[in-house]
Structure 1
Amino acid sequence: MVFPMVLLKQADWVLYQLLANSCFRAARKMRSYGFLLRNQSLKSSCLQPQPSPFPSVNKCDLQNRGSDSLVCDIDGVLLRSESFFPYFMLVAFEGGSIFRAFLLLLLSPFLWLLKYEVQLRVMIFVTFCGLRRKDIESVGRAVLPKFYLENINLHAYEVLASAGSRVIFTSIPRVMVEGFLKDYLNVVSVVGTELHTAGNFYTGLVSGPGLLVKHRALKEYFGDKKPNIGLGNSSLRDHLFISICKEAYVVCSLSSSIMPRDKYPKPLIFHDGRLAFLPTPAATMCMFMWLPLGIIVAIFRISVGILLPYKLAVLLGVWSGIDLHIKGCTNKNTTPASKSKGVLYVCTHRTLLDPVFLSTSLGKPLTAVTYSLSKMSELIAPIKTVRLTRDRKRDGETMERLLSQGDLVVCPEGTTCREPYLLRFSSLFAELADEIVPVAMNTHVSMFYGTTASGLKCLDPFFFFMNRRPSYHVHVLGKVPKELTCAGGRSSIEVANYIQRQLADALGFECTTLTRKDKYMMLAGNEGVVHENKKC
């Protein structure tokens, strides 16, 4: 009985809101816009920002605010974005599918014709209907924080950070913002719109009293008390909301400034998802227009790497748009001094393509040891790959055997990291070889990330090569002096830490003590044990 009632309720809402109120509102908007086009003087005066009865957030005194309470919204106040549409698009794409994202994009021109409340209801329904609660929680934890941090208004954040008690009131679904606000901004409580669920799935409807009305929710939360500081934007809704506070300030989008990375309240080290850009309507449309050609380009680039000799593969790869930077690949750095063992190349781990690009840059075949490589990636790999078991003794024997057969590539971080940080290096490699060559690898993409913690790993190389102009930087450093290896009396941990610092300095990255387990616990809620059905 639940599902038919949900359908009837949704049909009633669509008929009333979209076919009655929204059509009338759209006609009135278009008529007003046409009138302004005929009267340019009125148009210019209407577009000018109206003076606010409240001072700017820049005028707020930040001293001695430790005992004060602060209330504000994330949409249009803490975030610089004028629309919350990109974040709904991220949930639709990362938590749903590319088809759901395409549907939301098709609706974006019509959303402009609707009033704010109806816009929000439509975006909620299209984004959430039929999605699992577990998937949305994963997106909120692993994907959205990166984009929120990159769009925080610095002035609004400084006021927020100065207050001792911080409460967020928002019409946005609470599940989309609560994790970020509590984990990164130390918000005490988040009061937002609640969504209706059927079992473990969202129905796309708003539960309870409907969309949150901020000034009413504030009165219910604080009762007779008034919060000390209220931040809002220039809308009348926010004016009513912050007028209840003892002090009220307005955040102006024209004077907003980006918060630099070094001022992030918490370092952004791990994040997940495929999209590397904020999916505004225009940017998302460009992505979908590029997608058919991008698939063809990706297949071409992968085929070139598999079928052609190294020099020709590099030539055609660069011709197809790959921005390849090679440094330090000289015979002096890469030729083993002893014929009994090969050279051990120790790489930073940015994507699963690191050993492939190193082999291509050096112009010679290498063997790579892997753990979580999918069967598809093993099949199309142009170099030999050997799986490890994470059993230290067995893996050590395997790597020693491979070194006796030739040169070997290892990524001691154990997993990829997208941000300018290096994870803790496993010291196993240092016990196996005296001739160690560190290799600083770095990548840059503009559209799709070529790594994932919770998605299908078999698609990693395709997504990386679907970027219009992906870049790869390969910097082969000099061999580690013998006196700084285990053969020179150093412990394996000392050698691993030394090489980690050397690579971090070469890339301008920061060393951490975080591990693969830390990454997967945060992003996927597990310890990074890869099952066959997740690898393809």
Structure 2
Amino acid sequence: MVFPTVLLRLVDWVLYQLLANSCYRAARKMRNYGFLRNKSSQQQPPLFPSLTKFDLQNRGSDTLVCDFQGVLLRTQSFFPYFMLVAFEGGSIFRAFLLLLSCPFLWVLDYELKLRAMIFITFCGLRVEGIESMGRAVLPKFYLENLNRHAYEVLASTSSRLVFTSVPRVMVEGFLKEYLSVDGVIGTELHSFGTYFTGFVSGSGLLVKHRALKEYFGDKKPDIGLGTSSLHDHLFISQCKEAYEVNKEDSKNSPTSVMPREKYPKPLIFHDGRLAFLPTPLATFYMFLWLPLGIILAIFRIFVGIILPYKVAHSVGNWSGVDLRLKGCSPSRSHDKKGFLYVCNHRTLLDPVFLSASLGKPLTAVTYSLSKMSELIAPIKTVSLTRDRKKDGETMQRLLSEGDLVVCPEGTTCREPYLLRFSSLFAELADDIVPVAINTHVSMFYGTTASGLKCLDPIFFLMNPRPSCHLQILEKLPKELTCAGGRSSFEVANYIQRQLADTLGFECTDLTRKDKYMMLAGNEGIVHDKKRKIIT
């Protein structure tokens, strides 16, 4: 009799909590929404002054406290960032499950909704992997959604603390590295060993005004920023000065958008496959597109492998690949050696696109290429070893056989920056042709630092309309090459600057090692049984 009694109580609780209670909340939301629409003219004035009234002068000794979502971020919905963690840190199936939960999440109150998203997103994921995502994937989307006004207020103070009910592991890396926040107090997640269980810790979801009281005691912080919600009013009312972030101004005002040139720290490297902010509607469209995208990517790959260059170019453009070429290959002055095409590196397909645009076979040298990429490559590819002497001999031999393509950055960069060019290529050839390459995707990135690199071409070609624009520049004059008395470093730096000016990019001194240390926590080296491969 005990078991049936317990079962009946459990069913009664589920029916009450998830059905009756949720339906009541949904009805109340709809009623309130209609009421607010009808009574918008009778809204009460805000209790606290607007953030735009804040005076930035003489704030160098003040302490500021604020929330992350709705204050530092222009939108209050945190669903897209949970979706990023589910997709990038988990799997496509976890992301689909989170998407399916949206109708149920909508009728839950804030606390139940947050707990449900935390469980679906984090259950079974490695702690180390999520911490890495907080540094490598999420900052791009946080910066694009950063509230410029709120950041200016934050930057004007000396001591900055963020209190948030979202999991601390999702925001701490960004807040400390990009916004120089002194402390992040957020919801802590329970873990078992090195894995998250999907539950919050024993302290529960963070309640901001209580956490603020516990942190400061009887002392009041100087400035508090919050939204118009009751919880935020309780939070910022404990500060000497309190300002309210207006929801409409924050979300819709063009002046609240943080332009790239004003980013607190340049965004040069980031990882992950998704190129868009996965709101529920955008994620729904992505899953609708996936079956067609996979078929289209396979079709585009076979077109490149089977058909002649000119025909493949035309069919590829017909299938949605926007491949454009500006300039032309220089005329050959002698037949002893081929041209050395020096490109900046955007995707693994850069040499393939150059070969297809020129309508002739080229040889590409790479530092690492998966077996799958070698099999589907429509051009000849040769792996290098990072041994300067051996690599130089290999490239010399390949140049004697025909035209060669090299990407001296050694790795790809998604953002408008050029990494430092290796100078080896400048020692090997006098007929150097710089090629500026820029790509654009709308759904998936075709590069990764921590994922499966063999899928890079497929993800790039899964985009509805991926684009690659190439511009062939004039062949480097002899006086600017090593044969004209220039050092190999001078030649490499000159070409880097020339390509950057053509593309409107910025030059950096960063290298492949810097990229992998930031995104993957290693130097990008994979040890094989036979040899060492640099990814």
Tell me if TM exceeds 0.5: yes
Residue 195 of structure 2 corresponds to which residue in structure 1?
A: 201
1:417 aligned to 2:413? yes
Report 1:47-446 matches (<5 A): 50-256=44-250, 257-330=256-329, 333=330, 335-446=331-442
Deviations 1:111-162 (A, max 9, x none): 0100000000000000000001121111111000000000001111110111
Change (3 A) 1:258 1:393: same
Change (3 A) 1:434 1:246: same
Equivalent AA in structure 2 for residue 393 of structure 1? K
Equivalent AA in structure 1 for residue 210 of structure 2? R
Describe the SS at the equivalent of 2:525.
coil
Change (3 A) 1:271 1:400: same
For residues 16 and 175 of structure 1, the distance between their equivalents in structure 2, rounded to whole angstroms, comes to 35
Which piece of structure 1 moves more, 116-125 or 50-59? 50-59
5+ long unaligned stretches in structure 1: 1-10
Question: 1:282: Cα distance to partner?
Answer: 0.1
1:512 aligned to 2:504? no
1:26 aligned to 2:1? no
Question: 1:24: Cα distance to partner?
Answer: 3.5
For residues 70 and 23 of structure 1, the distance between their equivalents in structure 2, rounded to whole angstroms, comes to 41
1:500 aligned to 2:500? no
Equivalent AA in structure 2 for residue 386 of structure 1? V
Change (3 A) 1:33 1:228: closer
Question: 1:16: Cα distance to partner?
Answer: 8.9
Residue 5 of structure 1 corresponds to which residue in structure 2?
A: none
For residues 275 and 152 of structure 1, the distance between their equivalents in structure 2, rounded to whole angstroms, comes to 19
Change (3 A) 1:218 1:34: closer
Describe the SS at the equivalent of 1:273.
coil
5+ long unaligned stretches in structure 2: 1-6, 251-255
For residues 464 and 452 of structure 1, the distance between their equivalents in structure 2, rounded to whole angstroms, comes to 11
Question: 1:22: Cα distance to partner?
Answer: 4.4
For these two proteins, the number of residue pairs brought into alignment is 521
Change (3 A) 1:410 1:35: closer
Change (3 A) 1:212 1:407: same
For residues 456 and 117 of structure 2, the distance between their equivalents in structure 1, rounded to whole angstroms, comes to 29
What is the TM-score of this pair, normalised by structure 2? 0.94
> Would the aligned equivalents of 1:22 and 1:113 in 2 still touch at CA under 8 Å?
no
Percent identity over paired residues: 74
What is the TM-score of this pair, normalised by structure 1? 0.94
Tell me which of 453, 466, 475 is aligned to 1:457.
453
Equivalent AA in structure 2 for residue 312 of structure 1? V
For residues 29 and 197 of structure 1, the distance between their equivalents in structure 2, rounded to whole angstroms, comes to 31
Deviations 1:37-79 (A, max 9, x none): 9xx6764216986532000000011111110000001011100
Equivalent AA in structure 2 for residue 495 of structure 1? V
Question: 1:13: Cα distance to partner?
Answer: 13
Question: 1:352: Cα distance to partner?
Answer: 0.6
> Would the aligned equivalents of 1:422 and 1:500 in 2 still touch at CA under 8 Å?
yes
